[in-house]
Structure formats: structure tokens, C-alpha cells
């Protein structure tokens, strides 16, 4: 991994990567994305941020979910092994799996740190998607083995990597960079689709640095985009150089 400054991120524990936030928005939501998802829609439980900021629904997750639903005809059949990073509630992966419920060869991994696994499993069960969606920890911070990709990410040909609001905390940028570099360091690397809310100048520095390794293309040509960019929420297609 190449970074502009040294950073011992493998020594961090999961709680250190997430700023504390007030607990709010507890409970279960029923989502159809304005009718884009057919009945029965999607049920998502939020813990209000009790386990970290990932336990809530965020606009970047909604944007990426809407994009994947609207472009399902384009990608259906091409993306059978889907890996979502920093899934939090599991929203994006669950939305895809719910839409493509009848596709028997579809596999979706929703991943985050260990403290989010219980919530993701709860949401998988709420939607009866246990056969398709698996909740996994991506890196194990507690035993300092974060330099190894997990087996499910190497033993399966990942077709697309999804990341909604992973550009959140500056301290985690080196880990996100390493993760994306590792996942795309293969023959025929997966496409990366990333949505994020612009919050600080450090975001721009992160993307500038990442452009050494990846080609970024902003996805503007879908009907929901205007309302999101008004709130500084953006969507990118990212390919390894």
C-alpha cells in the first residue's frame, strides 16, 4: 500500500474508527424506494447508532440502492458475486438480493466490522434472505491480521464491489485504500461502485490520491441523481488502472 504518510491503522480497534453519535432512529423501516422494489419491499432495522454510525440509514446508501435497482436489467446476470464494504445495516446488498430473489446463483456478502454483524444478520433474517446474503467481518482488527483478505473475498470471483459512505472518517482512509487495492489486484478486477457524501477537504485529498491507481467516472445519467447532488451526495464508477 502507498500512502502519503505513515499510519498504523491495523492497531486500531473497531470503536476507534467510528465517532460517537447520539442514539436515534431506532426500530424497523419498510422500504420500497418509491415503488422501485416490488412487494413485499425491504425491511431494515436501525439500531440508531448504538453500535456505531453504520447502524443507521444514510443518503449515500439510498442513492447506491436506487442506482442498483434502476440498472438491474443492465447488470443482472453479469453480477452474481457481490461484495459490499462498510454495509452497516446491509441496506444496499439486501436491496439487490430482494430484487433478484429468484436468481439462484446470486451471492451477496454484506461486510463491516465485527460490532455490526448482529444487526446485519437481523436484517437478513427479516427479509428471508439467508440463502443469498451472508454477513461477514471484513478485517479482524483485534488480532492484527487486517493485512489478509478474508477467504470469501479470494475464493470467489467477485464481480462488483459496493461501497456506500465508506469515505466517512479520515483515519480509516488508508484501510479503505488498501482494501480496494487488494480486491482489485486480480486478473479481470471487479468494478467498484461508490457513493459518498462530501463532508470535508480531506475527502478530495483521498480521491486525488486514489486516482493514481483507479479511473473515476461520476455517474450522472440516472433520474434520481439531481436530488442527491443538491445534498453533496455523489456516485462513482471506479476501475483499476
Q: Residue 102: helix, strand or coil by DSSP? A: coil
**What is the bridge-based pairing of β-strands 233-240 and 160-164?**
unpaired
Q: Round to whole Å and give the CA distance between 172 and 56.
A: 19
165 is in an annotated binding site: no
C-alpha 8: how far from its chain's center? Answer: 23
Can you say whether the dihedral through the CA atoms of 105, 124, 54, 24 is positive or negative?
Answer: positive
29 is in an annotated binding site: no
Residues 6 or more apart whose CB falls under 8 angstroms from that of 188 comprise none
Bond prior to 40 in cis (omega within 30° of 0)? yes
Helices within the chain (DSSP H only): 59-70, 72-75, 91-99, 117-126, 151-154, 173-183, 201-210, 225-229
Q: How is residue 85 written as a grid cell?
A: 464494504
Q: Residue 173: helix, strand or coil by DSSP? A: helix
86 is in an annotated binding site: yes
87 is in an annotated binding site: yes
**Nearest Cα to 218, choosing from 206, 230, 233?**
233
Q: How is residue 230 written as a grid cell?
A: 443538491
Q: How is residue 186 written as a grid cell?
A: 486480480
Q: How is residue 43 written as a grid cell?
A: 425491511
Point out the annotated binding site. 58, 86-88, 112, 164
Q: Which residues are annotated as a binding site for S-adenosyl-L-methionine?
A: 58, 86-88, 112, 164
Amino acid at each position: 500500500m502507498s500512502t502519503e504518510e505513515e499510519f498504523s491503522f491495523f492497531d486500531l480497534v473497531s470503536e476507534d474508527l467510528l465517532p460517537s453519535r447520539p442514539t436515534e432512529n431506532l426500530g424497523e423501516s419498510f422500504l420500497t424506494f418509491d415503488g422501485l422494489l416490488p412487494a413485499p419491499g425491504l425491511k431494515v432495522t436501525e439500531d440508531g447508532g448504538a453500535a456505531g454510525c453504520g447502524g443507521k440509514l444514510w443518503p449515500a446508501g439510498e442513492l447506491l440502492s436506487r442506482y442498483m435497482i434502476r440498472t438491474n436489467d443492465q447488470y443482472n446476470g453479469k453480477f452474481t458475486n457481490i461484495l459490499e464494504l462498510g454495509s452497516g445495516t446491509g441496506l444496499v446488498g439486501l436491496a439487490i438480493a430482494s430484487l433478484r430473489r429468484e436468481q439462484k446463483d446470486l451471492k451477496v456478502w454484506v461486510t463491516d466490522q465485527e460490532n455490526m454483524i448482529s444487526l446485519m444478520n437481523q436484517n437478513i433474517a427479516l427479509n428471508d434472505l439467508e440463502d443469498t446474503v451472508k454477513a461477514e467481518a471484513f478485517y479482524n482488527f483485534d488480532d492484527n491480521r487486517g493485512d489478509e483478505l478474508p477467504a470469501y473475498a479470494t475464493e470467489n470471483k467477485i464481480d462488483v464491489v459496493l461501497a456506500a459512505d465508506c469515505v466517512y472518517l479520515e483515519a480509516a482512509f488508508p484501510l479503505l485504500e488498501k482494501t480496494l487495492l487488494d480486491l482489485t489486484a486480480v486478473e479481470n478486477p471487479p468494478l467498484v461502485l461508490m457513493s459518498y457524501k462530501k463532508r470535508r477537504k480531506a475527502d478530495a485529498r483521498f480521491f486525488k490520491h486514489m486516482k493514481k491507481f483507479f479511473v473515476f467516472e461520476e455517474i450522472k445519467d440516472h433520474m434520481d441523481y439531481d436530488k442527491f447532488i443538491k445534498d453533496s451526495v455523489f456516485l462513482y464508477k471506479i476501475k483499476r488502472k
